[in-house]
Amino acid sequence: MKIINVNTSKGSYPIYIKKDILKSSASLIKKIYKHEKICILTDGKVMSLYGKYIESYFEEEGFKPLIITVKEGEKSKSISTYENICKTLVKNGFTRSNLIVSFGGGVIGDLGGFVASTLFRGMRFIQIPTTLLSQVDSSVGGKVAINLEEGKNLIGAFYPPEMVIIDTNLLKTLDERFIIDGMAEVIKYGCIIDKKLFEFLEQLDRDFLFDNMDFLVERCVSIKKNVVEEDEFDTGNRMILNFGHTIGHVIESYYNYEKYTHGEAVAIGMSYITALGEDIGLTKTGASHRINKILDKYGLEKVFPPIDKEDMIKTIMIDKKGNESGVSFIFIEDIGKAIIKRMGKEEIIKYISNK
């Protein structure tokens, strides 16, 4: 078993990574949590696949789990679902000393974490991420959130879990589309920080992806740990994790979060921004070709879809990381080295209009 400890301002938490660790999840939790009452938050799909197992693992350890199941999908990261979960917990006699376990993808992690961060001014919280994206990205770093109609993740908090338990075997039931989706983030880590990881992915036989999943998840978790430890509250270098995301958000929102998954949009964003970087002399020539090739290999889209340029600039300017002085764009100098470039509105208009 691999254990990676993440240090935060509130202490540190372990991330356990191992195939089949789900079976031991309740006993791991039992070591740090002594009450019987425990909430397992999950979604309909994960519940149908793993519900009876998880329930029995927790019962065998003497817990009395309350399983709350929400509908799968992004729409569950809403104020109304949040309210329903809070009410259910209150009705069932939960208090601030009780624990919520988010068992699902990034939606369940973000939603459960946000409930835990706010209900009773803070409950205990653990994540068991079940998608590739949530294992390599969203379960690490303490960001939790729900959406508003006006935008994604607008209501949120920094609320690190007490433990993250990653069972890479769970990925075997994931739809291919969500494996591909998560691979965009894996590729991103290679682009911004880890040239060796990028080269490994270039050489890997795609048919052996699963055999290498533990290695890939461990590597990505370690990279994210290092970035978030250095900048827990996202005021500086953590921004490099947004490589491909500013343009990706434009694509996701332009198509109402329906046509492209997050990873698909980020992939197009990485391809776009690297080509722009080469055009304006920030990025070494050839990086764009390598990124496009690797996106193709893992089944990700790279062609920028038809989007009105004015709409695009407008969306970029209201990106929540922007202010009057401009927006921070993440480019790469070359594979494995990210750079942050602050661009003013004039510059953005010039570059985007000509691209």
Ligand X SMILES: NC(=O)c1ccc[n+]([C@@H]2O[C@H](COP(=O)([O-])OP(=O)(O)OC[C@H]3O[C@@H](n4cnc5c(N)ncnc54)[C@H](O)[C@@H]3O)[C@@H](O)[C@H]2O)c1
Sequence ranges of the binding site for Zn(2+): 185, 245, 262
Q: How many whole angstroms separate alpha carbon 39 and alpha carbon 125?
A: 10
Q: Is 152 in the site for ligand X (CB under 6 A)?
A: yes
State the binding site for NAD(+). Answer: 72-77, 106-110, 130-131, 143, 152
Q: Does residue 161 touch ligand X according to CB under 6 A?
A: no
Nearest distance from C-beta of residue 143 to ligand X, angstroms: 4
Whether the CB-CB separation of 188 and 243 falls below 8 Å is answered with: yes
Stretch that binds ligand X, among 83-91, 166-174, 294-302, 337-345 (CB under 6 A): 166-174
Of 30, 49, 202, 317, the residue at the interface with ligand X (CB under 6 A) is 49
Residues 6+ apart with CB under 8 A from 292: 271, 302
Tokens 């959130």 correspond to 145
Question: How far does the chain reach from its first CA to its final CA, in angstroms?
Answer: 47
Looking at the Cβ atoms of 233 and 285, the one nearer to ligand X is 233
Binding mask 174-203 for ligand X (x = CB under 6 A): x---x--x----------------------
Query: Min. distance of Cβ 291 from ligand X in angstroms?
Result: 20
Which residue of 108, 166, 191, 294 would you call a contact of ligand X, by CB under 6 A? 108
Asked if residues 173 and 49 have their Cβ atoms less than 8 Å apart, the reply is yes
Say if CB 187 and CB 268 are below 8 A apart: no
How many CB atoms are closer than 10 A to CB 23?
15
Q: What is the spatial distance between Cα 116 and Cα 259, in angstroms, rounded to a whole number?
A: 31
- 48 near ligand X (CB under 6 A): no
Q: Does 127 bind ligand X (CB under 6 A)?
A: no
Longest dimension (CA), the chain: 63
Pairwise CA distance, residues 108 & 254, whole Å = 24
Q: Which residues are annotated as a binding site?
A: 72-77, 106-110, 130-131, 143, 152, 185, 245, 262
* Choices 70-78, 195-203, 307-315, 323-331; region in contact with ligand X by CB under 6 A: 70-78
List the interface residues with ligand X, window 224-263 (CB under 6 A).
Answer: 262
Amino acid identity of 40?
A: I
Shortest distance in whole angstroms from residue 315 CB to ligand X: 17
Decide whether 43 or 348 has the Cβ nearer to ligand X. Answer: 43
- Binding-site member from 39, 40, 133, 348 for ligand X (CB under 6 A): 133
Closest residue to ligand X, judged by C-beta, is 106
Is residue 110 part of the contact set for ligand X (CB under 6 A)? yes
Residue 264 binds ligand X, judged by CB under 6 A: no
What distance in Å separates the CA atoms of residue 265 and residue 246, rounded to the nearest whole number? 10
One of 24, 37, 66, 74 touching ligand X (CB under 6 A): 74
Residues 6+ apart with CB under 8 A from 185: 132, 133, 136, 137, 220, 263, 266
What is the residue-wise DSSP string for 142-155?
A: -EEEEEETTEEEEE
Q: Are 78 and 139 in contact (CB under 8 A)?
A: no
Name residue, tokens 């397992």.
40
Sites of contact with ligand X (CB under 6 A):
43, 45-46, 49, 72-74, 77, 104-108, 110, 130-131, 133-134, 137-138, 141, 143, 152-153, 170, 173-174, 178, 181, 262
